[in-house]
C-alpha cells in the first residue's frame, strides 16, 4: 500500500563480511534515505545460495554458516544506523513469494536474453560450473525489486545491469498482463559507484581485496599498505586522479570539501608527499571512521535474540505486503478462479 512516501528497496548478500565498498556504494544511501522513503531492506540469503550452495566444494558453506552470516549482516545494518522503527528489515527468505514471482518471470523471459547478463557471462568465461541459480539470479532480483513496488534502488555500479533487467521484466509483464509493476530507478552515486580494493580492482568480497567495514586498526593498516601505487618519489608531482589511495581518501572528505583533503590534493599535485605517508593518513582516517561503528556493533551483537526478534517482525511485515501484491499477480496470470 502506498503511504505517500516513495518506496526504496535494496539488499546485500550475506556472503562474507561487508566492506567499505558495500558501505559507501550502497548501505550508506539506505541509512541516509530512511526518513524520506518507505524502505524495504533485506538480507539476500536466497541469492547467497547461488554461491554458498553452488556445488563447488571450494565455495560450499554449511547451513549454520549461512544463518550466522545472515544474523551478522542484520547486526551490521543496525550498527551503521538503520532504524528498524523506520525501515522494514528482513531476510529475503521470509518472503518466499519472491521465488514464486521469479518463476512467473522465468516464463516470460528468454534464455538468450538472460545469457547476456554479466554475472553469467563471467562465470562462463572463468569456466566455472554454473548453477541454474547463477543464470537466474537477475530474475530473482527483479522479483525482489518489483514485488515491494520499488521506485528507487540504491546500489553500486556492478548492479546496474540487474536493475535494467528488472525494468525490462516489469515492462514485459505489464505489456502482457496489464499495468501491475512500478518502473524502478537505480540510485548509483557517481562518486562512490566503484570503490577500489587493495589491489586496485573494484573492492569485492570475492576478490580478497577488501577493507572490512568493522576491521580492527591493524587490519586496516595492513590492507591499506597493500594498495599498489606507481614508483614516484616523495618530491615528484603525482596524479591524484589515477591514485587508488587518493580515491579512498575522497570517501572521507565530505565530497571533496574538507580542508585536509584539499591540502593533500595540493601536495599530490606539487609533490611533497610520499605514498607511504598518504597511506598512513588514510589508514588513520578509516580507523577513526570505523571505531564508533565497531563499538555500536559490539553492543548490538551482545543481544542476538533482540536482533532475531526484529528480523522476525520485519519478515512478517514484508511477507504480508508481498502476499497482497502476489494475490494481484496470481489473478492476472490465471492462478486463481476469481479473475
Residues that bind ligand ADP (CB under 6 A): 12-13, 15, 21-22, 25-26, 155-156, 158-159, 192, 194-195, 202-206
The nearer residue to ligand TRP, 20 or 273, going by C-beta atoms, is: 20
User: DSSP letter at 6?
Assistant: P
The nearer residue to ligand ADP, 121 or 276, going by C-beta atoms, is: 121
Residue from 41, 52, 153, 290 binding ligand TRP (CB under 6 A): 153
Dig out the grid coordinates for 66 from the structure.
549461512
Ranges of H-type helices in the chain: 20-22, 28-32, 45-52, 63-79, 97-106, 111-115, 118-125, 132-146, 160-177, 217-225, 244-251, 259-270, 275-301, 304-333
- Is 144 an interacting residue with respect to ligand TRP (CB under 6 A)? yes
The nearer residue to ligand ADP, 101 or 211, going by C-beta atoms, is: 211
Number of residues that bind ligand TRP (CB under 6 A): 14
Residue from 75, 155, 187, 224 binding ligand TRP (CB under 6 A): 155
Q: Considering CB distances under 5 to 8 angstroms, the limit depending on partner class, which of ligand TRP, ligand ADP, none binds residue 141?
A: ligand TRP
What binding mask, one character per residue, do residues 31-60 give for ligand TRP by CB under 6 A, x or -?
Answer: -------------x--x-------------
Rounded to 5°, the CA angle 8-188-87 comes to 25
User: DSSP letter at 231?
Assistant: -
Q: Considering CB distances under 5 to 8 angstroms, the limit depending on partner class, which of ligand TRP, ligand ADP, none binds residue 144?
A: ligand TRP
C-alpha distances (whole Å) from 138 to each of 17, 68, 97, 299 are: 22, 25, 16, 36
The nearer residue to ligand ADP, 173 or 252, going by C-beta atoms, is: 252
Whole-number minimum distance, CB 129 to ligand TRP, in Å? 20
Whole-number minimum distance, CB 152 to ligand ADP, in Å? 13
The nearer residue to ligand ADP, 12 or 318, going by C-beta atoms, is: 12
How would you list the strands of the sheet with 152-154, edge to edge? 88-91, 38-43, 7-12, 152-154, 185-187
Dig out the grid coordinates for 20 from the structure.
567499505
d(CA 137, CA 240): 37
Amino acid at each position: 500500500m502506498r503511504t505517500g512516501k516513495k518506496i526504496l528497496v535494496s539488499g546485500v548478500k550475506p556472503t562474507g563480511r561487508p566492506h567499505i565498498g558495500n558501505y559507501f556504494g550502497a548501505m550508506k544511501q539506505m541509512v541516509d534515505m530512511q526518513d524520506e522513503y518507505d524502505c524495504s531492506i533485506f538480507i539476500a540469503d536466497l541469492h547467497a545460495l547461488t554461491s554458498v550452495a553452488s556445488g563447488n566444494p571450494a565455495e560450499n558453506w554449511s547451513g549454520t554458516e549461512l544463518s550466522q552470516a545472515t544474523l551478522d549482516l542484520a547486526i551490521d545494518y543496525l550498527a551503521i544506523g538503520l532504524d528498524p522503527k523506520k525501515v522494514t528489515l528482513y531476510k529475503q527468505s521470509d518472503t518466499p513469494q519472491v521465488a514464486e514471482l521469479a518463476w512467473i518471470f522465468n516464463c516470460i523471459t528468454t534464455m538468450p536474453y538472460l545469457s547476456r547478463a554479466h554475472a553469467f557471462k563471467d562465470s562462463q568465461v572463468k569456466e566455472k560450473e554454473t548453477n541454474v541459480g547463477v543464470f537466474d539470479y537477475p530474475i530473482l532480483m527483479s522479483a525482489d525489486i518489483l514485488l515491494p513496488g520499488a521506485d528507487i534502488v540504491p546500489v553500486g555500479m556492478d548492479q546496474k545491469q540487474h536493475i535494467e533487467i528488472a525494468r525490462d521484466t516489469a515492462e514485459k509483464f505489464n505489456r502482457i498482463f496489464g499495468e501491475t509493476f512500478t518502473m524502478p530507478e537505480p540510485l548509483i552515486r557517481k562518486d562512490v559507484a566503484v570503490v577500489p580494493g587493495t589491489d586496485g580492482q573494484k573492492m569485492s568480497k570475492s576478490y580478497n581485496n577488501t577493507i572490512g567495514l568493522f576491521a580492527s586498526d591493524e587490519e586496516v593498516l595492513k590492507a591499506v599498505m597493500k594498495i599498489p601505487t606507481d614508483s614516484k618519489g616523495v618530491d615528484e608531482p603525482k596524479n591524484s586522479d589515477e591514485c587508488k589511495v587518493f580515491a579512498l581518501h575522497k570517501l572521507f572528505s565530505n565530497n571533496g570539501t574538507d580542508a585536509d583533503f584539499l591540502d593533500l590534493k595540493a601536495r599530490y599535485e606539487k609533490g611533497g608527499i610520499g605514498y607511504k605517508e598518504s597511506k598512513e593518513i588514510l589508514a588513520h582516517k578509516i580507523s577513526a571512521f570505523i571505531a564508533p561503528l565497531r563499538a555500536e556493533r559490539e553492543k548490538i551483537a551482545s543481544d542476538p535474540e533482540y536482533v532475531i526478534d526484529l528480523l522476525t517482525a520485519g519478515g512478517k511485515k514484508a511477507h504480508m505486503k508481498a502476499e497482497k501484491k502476489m494475490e494481484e499477480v496470481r489473478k492476472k496470470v490465471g492462478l486463481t478462479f476469481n479473475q
